[in-house]
């Protein structure tokens, strides 16, 4: 007689045979496999994708921004620049000419350090119908051209007029050690005086004079 203690009754109440129990056992194993998740080879196929996602997360979390070009320039140590002025060497030598007969006026400038001394030397009055030459020169440690603002000026030297009013004649000149002349200059009769203006701070010597031609 068949042992029915371990027989499984389906919902309809009928008993299973041995073949039925075997089919039922295979059915239950399939259900447990489905409930446990995908097969092992499917899970292995997902591993590279999971690794890439993890690597991307680490990279985004731990990456540091690259420094900007301006930050790189600021980090570079630039060479130090020397602000020591270049020594231009000795100033051109300047020789003040001796006085000549009929000289009208002259001014001689000498320097001691940063201080300048002006010496005005009067001469004879301007003669009617005669022309004159103005001679001027200037020497400085750093030569400059006529555009630097140095000029000479001829003033009326009549009593009570010296140092007042506009000059009778003026002209710029270079302070580079060269001698510059203005010839055939007509001036009003009487006494006049000549002066120099706008000399550079490093002027060593200068002069200006008016002599007959």
pLDDT confidence of residue 2: 46
- Rounded Cα distance between 213 and 68, Å, is 75
Question: Is the pLDDT higher at 201 or at 81?
Answer: 201
Instruction: Measure Cα distances from 42 to 30, 47, 168 in Å.
Output: 17, 9, 111
Question: Is the pLDDT higher at 114 or at 127?
Answer: 127
Instruction: Examine the pLDDT at 131 and tell me if it is beyond 70.
Output: yes
Mean pLDDT value across the chain: 75
Tallying the residues shown for the chain, one arrives at 213
Lowest mean pLDDT among 46-60, 81-95, 118-132: 46-60
- Rounded Cα distance between 138 and 178, Å, is 7
Q: How many CA atoms lie within 13 A of 124 on its CB side?
A: 12
Which pTM does this prediction carry? 0.58
User: Which regions of the chain carry the CATH code 2.60.40?
Assistant: 105-212
Instruction: Examine the pLDDT at 29 and tell me if it is beyond 90.
Output: no
Lowest mean pLDDT among 29-33, 116-120, 159-163, 209-213: 29-33
Residue 6 pLDDT grade (very low, low, confident, very high; cuts 50, 70, 90): very low
Instruction: Measure Cα distances from 100 to 23, 33, 72, 91, 104 in Å.
Output: 147, 132, 72, 27, 10
Instruction: Examine the pLDDT at 7 and tell me if it is beyond 60.
Output: no
Question: Is the pLDDT higher at 66 or at 36?
Answer: 66
Q: Is the separation of the CB atoms in 131 and 185 below 8 Å?
A: yes
CATH of domain 105-212: 2.60.40
Cα 134 to chain center, whole Å?
Answer: 44
Instruction: Measure Cα distances from 33 to 28, 38, 44, 45, 119 in Å.
Output: 9, 8, 17, 18, 122
pLDDT (tens digit per residue) in 57-100? 444 445 555 555 554 455 566 566 656 656 666 777 899 999 99
pLDDT confidence of residue 158: 81
Sorted by sequence, the CB contacts under 8 Å of residue 90 that are 6+ apart come out as 141
């Amino acid at each position: 007689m068949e042992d029915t203690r371990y027989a499984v009754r389906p919902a309809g109440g009928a008993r299973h045979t041995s073949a039925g129990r075997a089919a039922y056992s295979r059915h239950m194993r399939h259900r447990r496999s489905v409930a446990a998740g995908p097969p092992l080879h499917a899970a292995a196929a997902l591993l590279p994708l999971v690794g890439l996602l993890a690597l991307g997360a680490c990279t985004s979390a731990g990456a540091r921004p690259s420094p900007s070009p301006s930050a790189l320039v600021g980090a570079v140590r630039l060479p130090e620049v020397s602000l020591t002025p270049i020594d231009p060497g000795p100033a051109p030598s300047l020789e003040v000419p001796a006085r000549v007969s009929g000289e009208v006026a002259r001014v001689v400038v000498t320097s001691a350090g940063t201080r300048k001394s002006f010496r005005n030397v009067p001469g004879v009055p301007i003669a009617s119908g005669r022309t004159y030459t103005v001679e001027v020169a200037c020497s400085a440690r750093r030569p400059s051209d006529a555009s630097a603002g140095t000029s000479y000026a001829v003033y009326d030297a009549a009593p009570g007029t010296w140092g007042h009013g506009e000059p009778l004649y003026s002209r710029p000149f270079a302070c580079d050690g060269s001698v510059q002349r203005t010839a055939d200059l007509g001036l009003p009769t009487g006494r006049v005086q000549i002066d120099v203006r706008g000399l550079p701070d490093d002027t060593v010597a200068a002069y200006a004079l008016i002599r007959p031609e």
